[in-house]
Chain A
Amino acid sequence: DTAVSQTPKYLVTQMGNDKSIKCEQNLGHDTMYWYKQDSKKFLKIMFSYNNKELIINETVPNRFSPKSPDKAHLNLHINSLELGDSAVYFCASSQRVQVEQFFGPGTRLTVL
């Protein structure tokens, strides 16, 4: 009965590779988000989708491409991984944009 799930939980890969992180929510929410938490624990939003439409796109390199096939899923694809992409990536969801967001367990990405 997991509310917001992410796969994989850990991802270790080499520089230059392409990888994807998947997110699914079973809360019936209409808005989903991707956040990045750096090594100093600072959290910053990357993207947000409302009803499968992109509504927030922060200044993220275009190597990062989100995709929302339906309201319950928001995936993050990263091309040409760099060392600086190492971080924990959190998916979150909310019902409408004005209420609390529920976070997934996070995906720890390590780029070697």
Chain B
Amino acid sequence: AQKITQTQPGMFVQEKEAVTLDCTYDTSDPSYGLFWYKQPSSGEMIFLIYQGSYDQQNATEGRYSLNFQKARKSANLVISASQLGDSAMYFCAMRGRNSWGKLQFGAGTQVVVTP
């Protein structure tokens, strides 16, 4: 069985600062994918970044980077230079190799960026 844990229900961050959102996972699949999605107050789900379990390098997409530590089973999202528009709910998700694409989501972390 797979499990995704996000232990931070909410956090405040000041504009222009970096923020790290924690995500740990548990799976017996030898191959898996880790995803982060953003859900602003308008409700849509926006894909941010993907990390494959066999990728040697940590994924980066603009101001987003994924700090992947396989031995610790963690896949933390780092947002650099926070902007007011980053205020949203952030979800970590995992897909196992044999899961037919099924994404297992964490409970989410609510981020509020303050001026």
Interface residues of chain A, those whose CB is within 8 Å of chain B, are 31, 33, 35, 40-45, 48, 50, 55-56, 58, 88, 90, 92, 94, 96-103, 105-106, 108
Which applies to chain A's interface (DSSP): helix, strand, loop or mixed? strand
Once A41-B108, A43-B91 are accepted as A-B contacts, the answer to whether A101 and B100 lie under 8 Å apart by CB is: no
Chain A residues closer than 8 Å to B104, beta-carbon distance:
45
Chain B residues closer than 8 Å to A48, beta-carbon distance:
100-102
Chain A residues closer than 8 Å to B97, beta-carbon distance:
98
Q: Are B44 and A103 in contact (CB under 8 A)?
A: yes
Q: Lowest 6 CB-CB distances: which A-B pairs, in order?
A: A97-B101, A103-B45, A43-B105, A55-B100, A100-B47, A45-B102
Instruction: Please tell me which one of the listed residues B89, B101, B107 contacts residue A94 in the complex, with CB atoms under 8 A apart.
Output: B101
A-B contact pairs, 15 of them (CB 8 A): A33-B103, A40-B107, A41-B108, A42-B105, A43-B93, A45-B104, A50-B101, A90-B45, A97-B100, A98-B97, A101-B35, A101-B47, A101-B101, A103-B45, A105-B44
Chain B residues closer than 8 Å to A96, beta-carbon distance:
101
Chain B residues closer than 8 Å to A88, beta-carbon distance:
43
